[in-house]
Copies of this chain bind each other. A is one copy, B any other.
Amino acid sequence: VIAVDWGTSSFRAYRLDGSGAILDKRESREGILSVAAGQFPAVLERNIAGWDDASILMSGMVGSRQGWLEVPYVQCPAGAGTIASALRKVPWAGRAAWIVPGVSCIDETGVPDVMRGEETQILGVLDGLPGESLVCLPGTHSKWVTVREGRIAGFRTHFTGELFALLKEHSLLGRMMQEGTHDERAFAEGVERSADDGGLLHHLFGVRTRGLFGELAADKAPSYLSGLLIGHELRSATGAPRVHLLGSRELATVYGRAAGLLGMPCELLDPHAAPLGLFRLAREIGL
């Protein structure tokens, strides 16, 4: 089986053996945003040239409106069975090529939420999770996923990563910032500030005033802002006794530090979860 994690800005393919172990790996910058309409089959062929396995499963934004084929979201609660039953086959070079659906949910107030790609990562870590758990997948749009009895019960997306980039590049706050290495102390001050009851909109202005008063150096301001935003995200996502972090080492470590500062116990999961999730889906449909 070939497992493909095809996102907005990156392409990752894994050749798996009969037990789901990774035999080989390919990676490129050909995320779906770089692929012209109609060129998905050719880009896939180029990226997995020489791999002749009969079955291919793909997850991520490749199944979105901007991808190869739009595969409708399945609704929560969704486990491997529900997700597998909504896989869509695309014709490709005489082989079976499947695209994984995204997952949607609707909260108590009727507002919908969506994920695409993260559901497959969750399937890849299911075995290591207790009966009920809260998994955080940090990123441009972080996901906080409640997993119950092997199924995605519900989730919430947070705009944290995109807001950080936006403020840094385009706002008054960004104008007084300089690129710098991660500063642990400024980061911790930001996390601590998030515990104040003034609200995020007020705290953002504080990035400017602390700079004005010489309390925050320009190259430390990005770390402070990062701590502030992640602190607010963590504080909104309360209620579980423990958080499982699923993300790149770098991001998961940063989130883990913030959680520690807020007294939230957390555990890092193996970030290479997508191929295992795809393997699980392959099994579900008898590949």
Do A193 and B236 have beta carbons less than 8 Å apart? no
Least Cβ distance of A156 to chain B in Å?
5
B residues in contact with A171, CB < 8 Å: 162-163, 166
Query: Which of A166, A202, A210 counts the most B-chain CB atoms under 10 A from its CB?
Result: A202
Stretch of A13-21, A47-55, A108-116, A179-187 contacting B (4+ beta carbons < 8 Å): A108-116
Do B158 and A166 have beta carbons less than 8 Å apart? no
Give the distance in Å from the alpha carbon of A156 to the alpha carbon of B215 in the complex.
18
Give the distance in Å from the alpha carbon of A162 to the alpha carbon of B209 in the complex.
15
Query: Which of A169, A197, A236, A237 counts the most B-chain CB atoms under 10 A from its CB?
Result: A236
Known: A198-B107, A198-B236, A232-B200. Is A210-B162 also a contact (CB below 8 A)? no
How many residues of A are in contact with the other chain, CB < 8 A?
42
Do A199 and B111 have beta carbons less than 8 Å apart? no
Give the distance in Å from the alpha carbon of A157 to the alpha carbon of B173 in the complex.
14
- A287 is an interface residue with CB less than 8 A from chain B: no
Within 8 A of B (CB), among A192-223: 193, 196-202, 204-206, 209-210, 212-213, 215
Instruction: Identify A233's interface contact among B158, B159, B201, B209, CB under 8 A.
Output: B201
Give the distance in Å from the alpha carbon of A232 to the alpha carbon of B199 in the complex.
8
Q: 0/1 per residue, A114-130, Cβ < 8 Å to B?
A: 10000000000000000
Residue of B nearest to A205 (CB): B157
- A170 is an interface residue with CB less than 8 A from chain B: yes
Least Cβ distance of A27 to chain B in Å?
25
- A89 is an interface residue with CB less than 8 A from chain B: no
Chain copies in complex: 2
Residue of B nearest to A172 (CB): B162
Do A166 and B170 have beta carbons less than 8 Å apart? yes
Do B202 and A112 have beta carbons less than 8 Å apart? no
Give the distance in Å from the alpha carbon of A111 to the alpha carbon of B46 in the complex.
55
Least Cβ distance of A189 to chain B in Å?
9
B residues in contact with A235, CB < 8 Å: 199
Least Cβ distance of A134 to chain B in Å?
14
Could you list which residues of chain A lie within 8 angstroms of chain B, going by C-beta atoms? 107, 109, 111-114, 141, 156-160, 162-163, 166-167, 169-172, 193, 196-202, 204-206, 209-210, 212-213, 215, 229, 232-233, 235-237
Query: What are 22 A-B residue pairs whose CB atoms fall within 8 Å in the complex?
Result: A107-B196, A109-B193, A111-B193, A112-B210, A112-B212, A112-B213, A113-B205, A114-B209, A114-B212, A156-B198, A156-B202, A163-B201, A169-B170, A170-B170, A197-B236, A199-B200, A199-B233, A199-B236, A200-B200, A200-B236, A201-B233, A201-B236
